[in-house]
């Protein structure tokens, strides 16, 4: 998926996974991480979906404010377990705690996506995916966390981290769990007037949804 006019897309995020997803889809990217108070925005209300959309828009608006006339994409992903938000763990101990609580259980991954177009118009959307973890052993949690792969990810894990592979199954969009649902992103870009040279089917819906034998959970 590429812009038919060669338009650059500004990514208001320092996430290497979002950058990789967009680059592999053919976008010409400029990465400008936004500086916003994520915790303050997420705790403004009890509606987590509205909060994560607001956070994505805050990121996009922050970068758009100093880059007038550009298309800016903002996104944020949270893990929700028993009505509690799991963001990025602040320490190895917190990462271990998160993973122990998620072990063998179901949780939701919610990503808010926002676009601010060159004339300042904004559009937002969210995608929610239910994820089931396999039962995790204490030693494999410790090994994974000690690798530092968990510390920059919501919930302390990456579904794409094949050496750990914590996910037994999921519904809806795989790329949403990675950090950027292209199904929502491509829709928002088109609504915002971003010229798309070729159509894109979200590859996140073509990935196998069961990774482990559920009877072993």
Residue 208 has a CB neighbour count (10 Å cut-off) of: 8
d(CA 173, CA 178): 9
User: Residue 97: helix, strand or coil by DSSP?
Assistant: helix
Whether 76 is catalytic = yes
Which of 164, 172, 96 is CA-nearest to residue 128?
Answer: 172
206: buried, middle or exposed (CB in 10 Å: 19+, 13-18, 0-12)?
exposed
Instruction: Measure the CA angle with vertex 122, ends 37 and 53; round to 5°.
Output: 45
**Residue of 28, 37, 76, 171 with catalytic role:** 76
Burial 22-50 (b: 16+ CB within 10 A, else e): beebebebebbebebebeebbeeeeebee
So which residues are the catalytic ones? 76
């Amino acid at each position: 998926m590429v812009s038919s006019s060669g338009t650059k897309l500004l990514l208001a995020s320092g996430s290497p996974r979002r950058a990789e997803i967009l680059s592999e889809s053919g976008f010409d990217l400029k990465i400008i991480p936004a500086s916003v108070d994520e915790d303050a925005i997420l705790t403004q209300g009890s509606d987590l979906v509205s909060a994560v959309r607001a956070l994505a828009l805050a990121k996009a608006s922050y970068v758009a404010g100093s880059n007038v006339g550009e298309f800016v994409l903002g996104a944020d992903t949270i893990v929700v377990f028993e009505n509690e938000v799991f963001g990025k763990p602040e320490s190895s101990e917190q990462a271990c705690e998160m993973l122990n609580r998620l072990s063998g259980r179901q949780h939701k991954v919610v990503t808010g996506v926002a676009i601010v177009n060159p004339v300042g118009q904004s559009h937002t959307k969210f995608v929610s995916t239910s994820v089931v973890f396999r039962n995790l052993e204490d030693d494999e949690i410790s090994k994974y966390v000690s690798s530092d792969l968990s510390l920059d990810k919501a919930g302390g894990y990456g579904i794409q981290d094949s050496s750990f592979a914590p996910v037994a199954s999921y519904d809806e969009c795989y790329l949403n769990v990675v950090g950027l649902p292209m199904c929502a992103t491509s829709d928002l870009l088109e609504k915002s007037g971003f010229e798309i040279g070729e159509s894109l089917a979200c590859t996140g819906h073509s990935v196998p949804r069961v990774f482990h034998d559920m009877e072993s959970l």
